[in-house]
Amino acid sequence: MFRSIIIAFSMYSRIPMPHISWEDEDMRYMFVFFPFVGAVIAGVEYLCRMAGVKLGLEPVFVAAVMTVIPLIITGGIHLDGYMDTSDALSSYRSREERLRILKDAHIGAFAVVRTIVLMILYFGAVYQILLADEAGGLRVFILSFVLSRVMSGISVMTVKSAGNGGSLEKLGSASDKKTVTALLAVECMVTAAVMIYISPLYGGVAAGASALWYFIYRHICEKTFGGVTGDTSGWFLCITECLCALTTAILSAPLLHP
């Protein structure tokens, strides 16, 4: 279990971890601990918000810092997948060609444009959440870092791989899928329940929107790529987090809280 945690953080974060060899046995339950990376991000985000309040910093500056914190902790691995998938989806080519684009180290104009749009929307949503200054909205938002990783892990366990030979295919095949899927399902239910407990409005809408997006994502991957890849998982994760931020920001509008 300890080695699985180390592999999860080594793979999906830039947090220093002890060096160990990656044996198949150690990767059987790695995805169970993938959401722990999101929990660390959530904790850092919350501390950043509290520090901003204590220091009297402007919300726009704190929002900017909170926007880049996930990128710093993860090293941008998921955003890289978002960019590669954006290029592949925008190519309107055959499945084989799209899979080739996913593995291409270069990025195209569509990836740049879509990333700029994503980051602007995300930053604006975080800024609005901070301006609204509602504890429920902020807590639901930061829990999205856990929820997105739980749902991403479930998709890896339950949707077939696109078979492009990437690292995700190896990690998925080495996993004890039945056990990991069951544990991730429990994590998903607990996370969603906590979000709804914190705020039935913010949590319910954010969790519901994420669930709807999850099924849309599965359909897109199966139809377009023949399954999931590491890049599509990053694409899903980035959009899920942005979606949770947007729904929370919109629901925090003063007109909805007379």
Could you identify the residue written with the tokens 């060096």?
19
Number of domains in the chain: 1
Residues contacting 170, CB < 8 A, separation 6+:
none
pLDDT given for residue 99 in this prediction: 84
Tell me the angle at which helices 230-251 and 200-224 cross, rounded to the nearest 10 degrees: 150
Residue 95 lies in a domain: no
What is the C-alpha separation between 88 and 103, in angstroms, rounded? 10
Tell me the angle at which helices 109-132 and 135-158 cross, rounded to the nearest 10 degrees: 140
- Each residue's pLDDT tens digit, 182-240: 999 999 999 999 999 999 999 999 999 999 999 999 999 999 988 898 899 999 999 99
Question: Following DSSP, what letter does each residue of 81-150 receive, concatenated?
Answer: HHHHHHHHHHH---HHHHHHHHH-S---HHHHHHHHHHHHHHHHHHHHHHHHT-HHHHHHHHHHHHHHHH
Residue 99 lies in a domain: no
Q: How many CA atoms lie within 13 A of 196 on its CB side?
A: 11
Model confidence at 256: pLDDT above 80: no
Residue 93 lies in a domain: no
pLDDT given for residue 217 in this prediction: 95
pLDDT given for residue 58 in this prediction: 94
- Asked whether 126 and 141 are in contact (CB, 8 A), the reply is yes
Residue 230 lies in a domain: yes
Q: Which two tokens stand for residue 145?
A: 């870092």
Higher-confidence residue of 176 and 159: namely 159
Rg (CA), the chain: 18
Residue 166 lies in a domain: yes
- Structural domain that includes position 177: 2-13+27-85+104-252
Residue 146 lies in a domain: yes
Residue 96 lies in a domain: no
Question: Following DSSP, what letter does each residue of 6-59 receive, concatenated?
Answer: HHHHHHH--S--------GGGGTTGGGSHHHHHHHHHHHHHHHHHHHHHHT--H
Residue 18 lies in a domain: no
Using a 10 angstrom Cβ sphere, with 0-12 exposed, 13-18 middle and 19 or more buried, the burial of residue 255 is exposed
- Each residue's pLDDT tens digit, 104-127: 878 888 899 999 999 999 999 999
pTM of the model: 0.92
